[in-house]
């Protein structure tokens, strides 16, 4: 893979991670305060929702870090190793964790009669994107295992 393409992917991961971090630190608390003031009947949900969203940042950043690990391995021409397989496993489980956290949060909001249709659509969108990432990581991991087996077999025959 060309060096400029790897650098572009690294920059993309940094920008995405930085934007999510800034939104989580600065924008999200102010929006939560505004919504709690505008809708006092749902103000008691402010901190549980913030906690849930901040909790989903943990698997998100685990996935971003492992994306960096994979890009570094590609840069060093070690893409077809067990380290890449391990990073793909972490990305897969991080995506599954995000799905579970959002499903739990949506069920919590349903039981409190507080799930607005726009929040439902946003949650389903995040769940769907996480499912796509988990599926892609799983497929790539399965293909990588086959490639590693073929590579090891090839190394033994030469």
Q: Domain residue spans in the chain?
A: 3-157
In this prediction, what percent of the chain has a pLDDT beyond 70? Answer: 99
- CA dist., res. 94 & res. 87, Å (int): 10
Other C-beta atoms lying within 10 Å of the C-beta of residue 144: 17
Average pLDDT (18-26) is 96
- For position 1, what pLDDT does the model report? 66
- CA dist., res. 136 & res. 133, Å (int): 5
Average pLDDT (124-149) is 96
Question: Considering the entire predicted model, what is its pTM?
Answer: 0.90
25-79 pLDDT, tens digit each = 999 999 999 989 998 998 999 999 999 999 999 999 999 999 999 999 999 989 8
Query: Is pLDDT at 158 greater than 70 in this prediction?
Result: no
| Contact between residue 81 and residue 73 where contact means Cβ atoms under 8 Å apart | yes
- CA dist., res. 72 & res. 3, Å (int): 11
SS3 category, 77: coil
| Contact between residue 122 and residue 76 where contact means Cβ atoms under 8 Å apart | no
């Amino acid at each position: 893979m060309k060096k400029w393409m790897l650098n572009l992917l690294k920059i993309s991961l940094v920008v995405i991670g930085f934007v999510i971090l800034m939104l989580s630190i600065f924008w999200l608390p102010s929006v939560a305060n505004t919504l709690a003031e505008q809708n006092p009947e749902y103000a008691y949900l402010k901190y549980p929702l913030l906690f849930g969203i901040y909790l989903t940042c943990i698997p998100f950043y685990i996935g971003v870090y492992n994306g960096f690990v994979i890009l570094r391995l590609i840069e060093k021409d070690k893409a077809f190793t067990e380290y890449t397989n391990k990073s793909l496993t972490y990305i897969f489980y991080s995506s599954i964790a995000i799905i579970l956290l959002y499903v739990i949060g949506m069920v919590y909001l349903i039981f409190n009669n507080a799930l607005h249709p726009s929040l439902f659509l946003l949650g389903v969108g995040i769940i769907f994107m996480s499912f796509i990432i988990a599926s892609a990581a799983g497929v790539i991991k399965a293909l990588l295992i086959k490639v590693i087996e073929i590579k090891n077999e090839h190394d033994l025959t030469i």
